[in-house]
Amino acid sequence: MPAHEIKVRTAGGPYGVLVEPGALARLAAELSNGGLKAAATPSRPEPVAQRPLFVITDSNVWKHWGRAFDAAVSPLRYGLIKIRPGEERKKLETVERISERLVALGADRGTLLIAFGGGVVGDIGGFVASVYLRGVDYVQAPTTLLAQIDSSVGGKTGVNLPCGKNLVGSFYQPKRVIADPRVFRTLPQRELRAGLYEAIKCGVLRRSLFVFIEERREALLRKDPEALAELVRGCVGLKAWVVTRDEREGGLRRILNLGHTVGHALESETGYRRFLHGEAVAWGLRAATLLAEDRGMIRPAEAARIHALVKAMGPLPPLPRISAARLASRLLADKKTRGGAVHFVLPEAIGKVRIVTGIEPRSVARVLERLRHG
């Protein structure tokens, strides 16, 4: 296994996550390397070169990176399926259209799909892979920071319904993840920062990561590929550790929801238009930190470091005014709510969290009001 490959072990099989500047340029070799020779049907083990290969991407990513991808995957031949960018595409209709294209292009059970794009492409591509012909192999080639540190690893796939986000999906692990931080060169700065907020969340779960982000903040914000590669490896290492122990979010995996309980409520309250996901998580993380402070769970100096690092990444879209009653209904509508009990992951220190239930929506609304007024 190459030095920078992180192993994820799940019931769906083990796989490697390669994080390396320049990995995209070696795609053909990496696809042949990563244990991908065994086809979905064991009766037809084939080398990658003989498997039908299809790439699912969005038009934005393809505009920037299509030519590089094409050169990198040569001499392998592939079918291209492009969707329009944006969360609005993450719906069942897109799954149907991609599946019909796959049929038309002759994709069979030995097919290998590559999801080349951000979290939207990854979630749709993984879901299509899990249901097309009852399941074909797929590889994640994530191109946003959020997708590299989070969504491409762990096997959660799915699409939105008109009534809510990620309500239809599956746990379906990729055969490999190939992440090249050089692709961030074309990523809008706001998308980069959204990924950095998710990385800070990882840092609150693992102290060494937090310290790394504090120390290398400037290099990260100016897209230094080596600094970003180290950050992605750290976050993926944490996620791999968690997912290997709890693939289906029975317990431990819930710690990854730090900042997400309030974050999801803010996203739905603003119709998914005001915040990028990572930005809503940033406010959620600060709210969780204040809730912990109010309960005397965390030392003020530790809490101050969390607030300061979030702020140091740049401006966030302002918080909406939200009443306790509205917040309560948003929190209860979250699919992670179990039996009417809302779980909050609160920091006890940088590197240590606890899951707490029984926090009144009133207290959460008060905390958000304090944050709204700075």
Choose the stretch contacting ligand NAD; rule: CB under 6 A; options: 28-36, 117-125, 205-213, 351-359: 117-125
| Residue 295-334 contact track with ligand NAD, rule CB under 6 A, x = bound | ----------------------------------------
Please indicate whether residue 4 is annotated as part of the active site.
no
Q: Which residue has the tokens 């969360």?
A: 87
Among 9, 26, 64, 299, binds ligand NAD (CB under 6 A): 64
Catalytic one of 82, 156, 182, 343: 156
Is residue 124 near ligand NAD by the rule CB under 6 A?
A: no
Q: Which is nearer to ligand NAD, 239 or 305 (CB)?
A: 239
Which H, E and C letters describe the chain, residue by residue?
A: CCCCEEEECCCCCCEEEEECCCHHHHHHHHHHHCCCCCCCCCCCCCCHHHCCEEEEEEHHHHHHHHHHHHHHHCCCCCEEEEECCCHHHCEHHHHHHHHHHHHHCCCCCCCEEEEEECHHHHHHHHHHHHHHHHCCEEEEEECCHHHHHHHCCCCEEEEEECCEEEEEEEECCCCEEEECHHHHHHCCHHHHHHHHHHHHHHHHHCHHHHHHHHHHHHHHHCCCHHHHHHHHHHHHHHHHHHHHHCCCCCCHHHHHHCCHHHHHHHHHHCCCCCCCHHHHHHHHHHHHHHHHHHCCCCCHHHHHHHHHHHHHCCCCCCCCCCCHHHHHHHHHHCCCCECCECCEEEEEECCEEEEECCCCHHHHHHHHHHHHCC
Is residue 58 near ligand NAD by the rule CB under 6 A?
A: yes
Please indicate whether residue 264 is annotated as part of the active site.
yes
Among 5, 20, 30, 123, binds ligand NAD (CB under 6 A): 123
Choose the stretch contacting ligand NAD; rule: CB under 6 A; options: 149-157, 214-222, 324-332, 342-350: 149-157
156-175 residues near ligand NAD, rule: CB under 6 A: 156, 166
Is residue 239 near ligand NAD by the rule CB under 6 A?
A: no
Please indicate whether residue 257 is annotated as part of the active site.
yes
Please indicate whether residue 343 is annotated as part of the active site.
no
Choose the stretch contacting ligand NAD; rule: CB under 6 A; options: 139-147, 288-296, 315-323, 343-351: 139-147
Catalytic one of 260, 286, 305, 330: 260
Choose the stretch contacting ligand NAD; rule: CB under 6 A; options: 39-47, 69-77, 148-156, 282-290: 148-156
Binding site for ligand NAD (CB under 6 A): 58, 60-61, 64, 85, 87, 90, 117-121, 123, 143-144, 146-147, 150-151, 154, 156, 166, 183, 186-187, 191, 277
The residues annotated as belonging to the active site are: 134, 156, 198, 239, 249, 253, 257, 260, 264, 277
